[in-house]
Structure 1
Amino acid sequence: MAYRTKTSILALLALILVAIFMTIKAGGNWDYILLLRGKKVLAIILTGGAIAYATLVFQTITNNRILTPSIMGLDSLYLMIQTFVIFLFGSNARMMIDSNLNFLLCVALMVLFSALLYKILFKRDQQNIYYLLLIGIIFGTLFQSLATFWQVLIDPNEFQAVQDKMFASFNNINTKLLGIAGILLVLVFAYVWRFTKYLDVLSLGREQAVNLGIDYDDVVKKLLVGVAILISIATALVGPITFLGLLVVNVTYEFMKTYRHAYLIPASVLISVIALVGGQLIVERVFTFSTTLSVIINFVGGIYFLYLLLKERKSW
């Protein structure tokens, strides 16, 4: 089957799921229903697209289909920021009430952390990308430990506010927040897309990329900055969804059967939208909001992660 045909099938399936999600049990209240559900769909498209795009680029850079950008500790940093603010100022602090301020501050701090990490680690010319991942794991563990420590100390009534931030939610999205996030994501997408032509070569490895004339370190630095910004915006918008990127990107590789990122990128975005819209339908119509979408995604993604580990082990 041609790659364009496969992409068209994914686009059609995504449109069908979105149409079902927008119209199911509307009850004639179209103005209210379309506005409410439209915000969720827009948040799903922005978040799913950002995570899928960032994870695909990250796995290409690292030449590893098991790693995701969350390994750099951005999810843990987001949770630590939320916990620290509630621990220090309480859940009624302006940063917790004002979603715009919360979003901008979280994005700024996560991007600043990534920039400092890259600046320190890439200061020397021959720094290994896996050294960056190792440091990211260490910082991620540190942030997670600090967040857990502060969660133990805060008032039990305040812990509910922290718990709301621990899981991604598409139910209460601020429209103004969607506008800011949408503009930022479009700008970052445009920035990262310029390097798409290099991704096919980068997937061959550092040595081959250098031999083929790619300025490897410079391109990788710029791509990692884009990945960090995409993940930061997606996480600050709806919360952490750890296994979404791992799940959709590996399904994309299996479905598309190609190395060409011009086809892989749109396919991964569409599969991400399909997974999130389908998952949200299950949350609302099957579980009647008794669980969150991130729990379902992480459950399925965790099982698939174990499958990938066992599959790699057999290949050894």
Structure 2
Amino acid sequence: MIALSLALTGACAAYLFWGLGPKWQFVLSLRAGKLAGMLLVGAAVAVATVLFQTVSRNRILTPQIMGFDALYILMQTALVASLGLSGFASLTAPVKFAVEVAIMIAASLALFSTLLGRAGQDVARLILTGVILGVLFRSAAGFLARLLDPNAFAVVQYASFASFARVNTDLLPIAALLTCAAICAALWVAPRLDVLALGRPIAVSLGLAHDRLMLLALSLVAVLVSVATALVGPIAFFGLIVAGLAHEAAGSGRHARLLPMAMLIAGIMLVGGQTLFERALGLQSTLAVVIEFVGGLFFLWLLLRGRIR
């Protein structure tokens, strides 16, 4: 934990102070906002993935399998199709962010509460429903995209890919409030999450309110993933990498240790990777593309290693 904290501090210092130049005050303020956004997104995705894997009791699943990314892309496409380029551009960032987060949280909570209320023991049905909804959202987004002119389609494509370089600092206060509240709640119930990970029969026999805690955990996942996706765009495999590395580094399934380590690893990966791409490589590629590529390889490695449980 100490080593990871020192590594994250070093990565943050390198991102802030490497190559400041003469106008260091302006550059430093600009980098500080982006740094805060990356740390928020990293912490949100890390905690959400660990919680979702605890609920599903599967180390290869991520919250994105529930269709959050597809719903986000559908919203971008629908906004451009209904408002046009001028109307989409005139949307203020706070309003757009609030609408996106509210829709994603409402949709996920409706899904979780309905399915868990009917079959609290059947998490597989919940995940399968999320997969089906994701396919539906992608199909609807693809249909709307075919109705757009090339300029509007280019705008949708730009808004549908994650970018850590375009974090809007005006959104950070509300994003930080939601993220910190959800993370504090996750850390507060960390001991009960350890019991939840044992499975429903054992958890119930130990006196745990299993269904209520599961709904709380999924609600926290919905908030964290919605905020992170609305802030930088969809990230499919980043949480999978972070959660896998956190399990290996922690050497324990206790969430009081696992959650902080996952947040530290996520911060190191995002800040260190963005520093490398911005300062050393001159933005010749994007961090999100590399994360998706490495995450896909990591997913295949987990399958071949047989770490499904």
CA distance in structure 2 between the partners assigned to 1:26 and 1:150 by the alignment: 44
Structure 2 residue 262 is the aligned partner of structure 1 residue 268: yes
Which runs of no fewer than 5 residues in structure 2 stay unpaired? none
Across the two proteins, how many residue pairs are aligned to each other? 309
> In structure 1, which of residues 26, 31, 38 is the aligned counterpart of residue 25 of structure 2?
31
Give a deviation string over 1:35-87, Cα, whole Å, max 9, x none: 01101110011000000001001101111100001111111101100111101
CA distance in structure 2 between the partners assigned to 1:195 and 1:157 by the alignment: 48
Corresponding position of 2:227: 233
Structure 2 residue 82 is the aligned partner of structure 1 residue 88: yes
Which runs of no fewer than 5 residues in structure 1 stay unpaired? 1-6
Taking the TM superposition and a 5 Å limit, the aligned residue runs for 1:209-224 are 209-224=203-218
> Which amino acid in the other structure matches residue 211 of structure 1?
S
> In structure 2, which of residues 133, 139, 144 is the aligned counterpart of residue 139 of structure 1?
133
Taking the TM superposition and a 5 Å limit, the aligned residue runs for 1:114-263 are 114-124=108-118, 126-263=120-257
Structure 2 residue 43 is the aligned partner of structure 1 residue 49: yes
Corresponding position of 2:271: 277
> In structure 2, which of residues 40, 53, 56 is the aligned counterpart of residue 59 of structure 1?
53
Give a deviation string over 1:206-241, Cα, whole Å, max 9, x none: 211111111111110111011101100110011111
State the shift of 1:125 in Å.
5.0
Structure 2 residue 303 is the aligned partner of structure 1 residue 295: no
Percent identity, aligned pairs only, is: 42
Q: TM-score, normalised by structure 2?
A: 0.95
CA distance in structure 2 between the partners assigned to 1:139 and 1:132 by the alignment: 11
State the shift of 1:286 in Å.
4.0
State the shift of 1:96 in Å.
5.9
Q: TM-score, normalised by structure 1?
A: 0.93
Corresponding position of 1:4: none
Which contiguous aligned blocks of 4+ residues in structure 1 show a shift greater than 3 angstroms?
94-97
Of the structure 1 ranges 280-289 and 214-223, higher mean CA displacement relative to structure 2 is found in 280-289
> Which amino acid in the other structure matches residue 224 of structure 2?
L
Contact 1:96/1:102 (<8 A) preserved? no
> Which amino acid in the other structure matches residue 58 of structure 2?
N
CA distance in structure 2 between the partners assigned to 1:61 and 1:255 by the alignment: 21
> Which amino acid in the other structure matches residue 247 of structure 2?
Y
CA distance in structure 2 between the partners assigned to 1:251 and 1:194 by the alignment: 23
State the shift of 1:175 in Å.
2.0
